[in-house]
Amino acid sequence: MASPTIDDKPIDEEKLGELVGMAVNELGAAYYAPLLVIGDRLGLYEALADGGPLLPAELAERTDTVEPYVAEWLAAGAAGGYVTYDRETGCYSLTPEQTALLADEDSPAFLAGGFQGLVGYQKRLSEIESDFRTGEGVGWHEQDEDVCHGTERFYRPSYETNLIDEWIPALNGMDARLTAGARVADVGCGHGASTIIMAKAYPSSEFVGIDYHEHSIEMARKRAEEVGVADRISFEVATAKEYNGTDYDLVMMFDAYHDMGDPVGVASHVRETLADDGAWMLVEPFANDRVEDNLNPIGRAFYCASTMACVPNSLDQGGDPVLGAQAGEARLREVITEGGFTSVRRATETPFNLVLEASP
C-alpha cells in the first residue's frame, strides 16, 4: 500500500502519531485549565490538602458543592497528575508537591494564578483575533479582572521568595541605602505586591507605587492598609512616561517594562527622575537573546502570554518598538541605553526572571 501523502509530500506515520499524541495531551491540558481555576476558586484543592484522602462525596460535603461535579473534577485532576488517586480506597488526596503547586499561595511553586490569568486572557479571544489583522491593541485596563488578579498571584510568590533575600542584595550597595532610608518608585506596580514587600522590609524608606490602571491602584491602597504599611507608601495613577517625582534612589519595574508602548521614552523618563547615583532595577521574564534558545517550556509559556497580553498592551500604547515578554537581555539593553543609561548589567536571575540593574 502506498504511503499517505499531502500535496505529494510523504507523511511519516510514526512522527504523525507522536504529534497526534502530543496534541491530545495538549487538548486535555487546555480543558483542565478552567477546571483548575474552578478548583482554586471553590477551595477544592485547599480542602483536599487539609483533609485528604477524601471520597468525592466527602470533598463535596466539605466544600458545599455537588458530588457529580466533584467526582468528575477529581478524576480529571488525577488523569493529569495534579491530584492523587488511591485505587484501593477510591479516595483522592494531594501530595506535598501538588499542595505546593495548587493550594499554598505562599509557596514559590504556586501556579494557580497563572491559570487564572490564562482563563482571563481567553475572554478577549475574538478581539485579539481581529487585532491580528488590524494591528490594534488591548490595554491591561481592558483585560478581564482575572488577568490582573491572576498575574499578581502568579508573580507574587517569586517576589516573596527572591526580592529581599536575593534581588536587592544583588544591586550595588542598594540594600544598605534602603535600610538607612531611600526614596523608591515602583512603576507598573499593579496591585502593589512588590511595593508592599519592599515597604515591610525597609521601614525607613519612602515608597511610591505607580500604575496607569486606576482600579489596580485602588486595590494596592486597600492592601497596603490591610498589612499596615500605608504610612510608608503613596500611590499614584500615572503612566511610566509621566509619573511625578525626582531624585529617586531606586526605580523598580517588575515584569512590566516589555509591555510598554514606548520603552525608549520610558527609559528616558526614568533617567530624568532618578538621582545621579541611583539605580533602575528591571525584573523581566527570563529569556535568551535568540528565539531558538527560548524554545522550551518556560519560553513557550511566556510567548503565549505575550501574544495575548503583552504585545496587545504595547500596541495599545503605540508599540514603538514592541518588545514582548521574551525580548532578552541584549534587546532590553539596547532600548535602555537608547533612553539615556550608560550601564546595564545582569544583577542576578531565576528560571523565570532576569534582574537587570541600569545606572545613569
Give the pLDDT band of residue 164 (cuts 50, 70, 90).
very high
> Mean pLDDT over all residues of the chain?
94
pLDDT at 8: 67
Instruction: Report the percentage of the chain scoring pLDDT > 90.
Output: 84
Residue 261 near residue 188, CB atoms below 8 Å: no
Q: Which helix (H) or strand (E) holds 250?
A: strand 248-254
pLDDT at 208: 98
Residue 124 near residue 78, CB atoms below 8 Å: no
- CATH 3.40.50.150 domain extents, the chain: 162-359
Q: Is the pLDDT of residue 2 over 60?
A: no
Give the pLDDT band of residue 1 (cuts 50, 70, 90).
very low
From the options 3.40.50.2300, 1.20.1440.120, 3.30.300.30, 1.10.10.10, give the CATH code of 21-101.
1.10.10.10
- CATH 1.10.10.10 domain extents, the chain: 21-101
State the DSSP code for 243: -
pLDDT in tens, 334-345: 999 999 999 999
pLDDT in tens, 108-141: 999 999 999 989 888 988 999 999 999 999 998 8
Distance of alpha carbon 19 from alpha carbon 143, whole angstroms: 33
Q: Is the pLDDT of residue 62 over 70?
A: yes
* Mean pLDDT value across residues 243-262: 96
Topology (CATH level 3) of domain 162-359: Rossmann fold (3.40.50)
Please give the grid coordinates belonging to residue 164. 529581599
State the DSSP code for 107: S
pLDDT at 7: 64
